[in-house]
Amino acid sequence: MQISENSNPHYLRIGGDEKIRALVHRFYQIMDELPESHGIRKMHPADLKGSEDKLFMFLSGWMGGPQRYVEKFGHPRLRQRHMPFAISDAERDQWMMCMKQAMDEVIDDAALRKELEAAFYKVADFMRNQE
């Protein structure tokens, strides 16, 4: 799929599909391995493959690449889709811990990691629905 010059440059900067898949895979490995992420891990099914696929599709479009998630499922409606789960500061912070570690391991570009961390934090913070 062709990426327009005006799109969010993160998709190209990260390295496209291959790097996004690696980031998502490592993110879920970390979530599955770290006892500190138990709160968010228990919100996911035992088999994380479906979660991996959905996050990959979402991040592809969110970073300015192909809009795979929207094409398959429609508008992400992230907050609405996460409402069945109790998400407080603790769950937000666990999610961010896993994503930050995955980014540190997968993304070489320090400036890109910093930009993505700030953007991910805004989204993760928006998902909170508990005090």
Using one digit for the tens of pLDDT, what is the confidence trace for 12-68?
999 999 999 999 999 999 999 999 999 999 999 999 999 999 999 999 999 999 999
What is the domain class of 13-126 according to CATH?
mainly alpha
The tens digit of pLDDT for each residue in 99-122 reads 999 999 999 999 999 999 999 999
Per-residue 3-state assignment (H helix, E strand, C coil) for the chain: CCCCCCCCCHHHHHCHHHHHHHHHHHHHHHHHHCHHHHHHHCCCCCCCHHHHHHHHHHHHHHCCCCCHHHHHHCCCCHHHHHCCCCCCHHHHHHHHHHHHHHHHHHCCCHHHHHHHHHHHHHHHHHCCCCC
pTM: 0.91
Q: Is the pLDDT of residue 3 over 70?
A: no
> Per-domain residue ranges for the chain?
13-126
